[in-house]
Amino acid sequence: MRLRVVSWWVTVVVVSEDPTFLSIFAESSFKSHLLSVHTTRLLAFTRLPLHRLHILHHLHKTLSRTNALLAVVDDASSVLRTRVLSWLPLTEPETRPLQLALWTTDQNLSLVYPPNLFPKKFSRFPHRPHVMVTAEELPSQSAVMVDDPTKPGGKRLTFTGGVDDLGEMLSTVMNFTYTYVRPPDKSWGLLRSDGTWSGMLGLITREEVEFSPGPFFLDHTRSQWMEYSAYMLMSGYHVLAARGHPKPDPWCFLVPLAPVVWATLLIALLAVCSVMLLLPSCFPAHTQEPGSIDANTFNCVRILLQEDIKSTKSRWWWDRVMLGVWMLMMVVLTQSYVGNLMSLLAVRYIDEPYQRLDDVLNNSDVRIIIVPNDQVGSTPRAGEPDGHRTSSLQIVH
């Protein structure tokens, strides 16, 4: 598994004349999924004749189901010839391979299917093979039997919903026919203690079927035994949690005014006092009565605290204007605070601890329960039978 992960965009070259080595390499690389990544390529060189390679079942399976080529070197004559061959997917070992290129010492390399040496043999099958496909029921898809005189018993298994639509689309685009097979236990599959799989996943790992449209959720355990295709749909989950009980908040009087409001209020007070202190400096000193500056500053603080103010005997209009503006600001702020505070006291506070996804992930009391043997989970629980099938996701707090 680790070797497959780090072997992206790698070309593996194997040179051998030993059929036993070629068979063992093909079997081990297929079981370890080394060559299952399409970007990983295999190029095998050998001098063995083609009829001896037909009997190697594992070699044919690897060459036909992976992005692999076989170069057969023929040096029996005076001119060295190398044929580059490729077996198409879903073909028998005795099937004649497809010759893609020919290399000789006098003509160099000539491609039969230019411009690529490695063909896209998995995009469309020219021989229209028949494949076995496994599927199971979901709330959005049901298994039904339809009339088909070409099948045993005159009936054929099919599915309603998106599964059959996907199968029809793939069969048309890739040029193959298919038959649905349901697992005996009618389950999605889980990994047993003996290392085998049940359900649809068991049919895939035993190679009784070619693929399953699922849809299966991405799972680390499953990815070690089988290959996922590109995802065909994306769905989201909602985390549901119980609301807190309504209760009064003794600190609700601090809620209407946030810290930024308090800071803004203090800055405004300092600004008004500063203006009232600076304005007299713009006029002759004899125009300002003694003690009026201190009285105006003190009046601003008393207005903020909702107290009466000391009458000023200043003859200048700017003192009265600044105090009037400050009074208007305090009236608006006071009425807003009183209204919000009354609302908070009348409505009880309901605690909602989960505001973001991080709140759920960082809470050690939250447990996620995934029921196994379905499209979501593949890990069995203690004492649960293999045939158990359900589909649910629960978050327990």
pLDDT, tens digit, for every residue of 23-60? 888 888 777 767 766 678 888 888 888 877 776 777 88
Residue 96 tokens, joined: 């004649």
User: For the purposes of burial, counting CB atoms within 10 Å of the CB of 202, is it exposed (0-12), middle (13-18) or buried (19 or more)?
Assistant: buried
- Per-residue confidence (pLDDT) for residue 39, from 0 to 100: 74
In this predicted structure, what is the pLDDT of residue 373?
61
300-343: pLDDT as tens digits: 888 887 777 766 555 566 777 888 888 888 888 888 888 877 77
How far is CA 157 from each of CA 147, 168, 171, 282, rounded to the nearest angstrom? Answer: 9, 14, 16, 97
Highest mean pLDDT among 110-119, 226-235, 258-267: 258-267
Q: Cis bond leading into 246, ω under 30°?
A: no
The answer to whether residues 329 and 269 touch, using CB atoms and an 8 Å cutoff, is no
Q: Which fold has domain 2-111?
A: Rossmann fold (3.40.50)
Handedness of CA 43, 46, 50, 54 (dihedral sign): negative
CATH no. for 130-223: 3.40.190.10
Structure tokens belonging to residue 159: 């599915």
pLDDT at position 297 is: 74
Residue 386, pLDDT > 50, answer no
Residue 79's contacts (CB-CB under 8 Å, 6 or more residues apart) are 104, 105, 106
What's the rounded mean pLDDT across residues 160-180? 87
Looking at every residue in the chain, the average pLDDT score rounds to: 77
> Rounded distance, CA 205 to CA 203, Å?
6
The amino acid at 354: Y
Please name the residue ranges forming H helices in 210-308: 220-223, 259-278, 292-304
205 alpha-carbon distance from chain centroid:
24
**How much helix, strand and coil, in percent to the nearest 5, is found in the chain?**
35, 20, 50
